[in-house]
Structure 1
C-alpha cells in the first residue's frame, strides 16, 4: 500500500497468542494452521442421502399399501351392489 509491500505477520493471523509464542519453525506454523479434526463430509452426506432415499422408499411402499387396501374395500362394495342388483 502506498508504494510499499504489505507486511503480514503472525500477530495479524487468527492464531491465538499462546500458540504463536510456542512456534519455532515454519513447519510448526503450517501444523498450527492445519485443522486437527478434518471430517470427511462426503461420507456424512452419503449417509444422509441413503437415509432420505430409505424414507422415500418406505413412504412409497406405504402409499401403495394404502391404495391397494382402499381398492379392496371399493371392490367389496361393488360386489355387494352387483349381488343386490342381480337378486332383484
Structure 2
C-alpha cells in the first residue's frame, strides 16, 4: 500500500461511508486515535504526518464495526485488503 494523500483519502472514505465521523484534533492520545463508539466518532491526532495517519487508520479500521454493505465497491476492496493485512500481522 502506498503512503500518499490518495491512500489516506480512501481510508477516510471507508469511515465516512460507514457512518463514522473522523476528526483531526490535538490531545493526549496513546496510540494516535480515540474512538467514541456511541457517537461513531473517530478522533485522530492532528500532529501525525500522512504516513502516521495512514498507519493509525490501518490499525484502527479492523477494530470498528463496519458494514460492508454500506461501502462502495472501491471501498469494499480496500477494506478487504486492510482486514487481510491486519490478520497477517497478528
TM range (shorter): under 0.3
More strand by share: 2
- Tell me the TM-score normalised to structure 1 length: 0.22
More helix by share: 1
Bigger relative contact order (CA 8 A; separation at least 6): 2
- Tell me the TM-score normalised to structure 2 length: 0.21
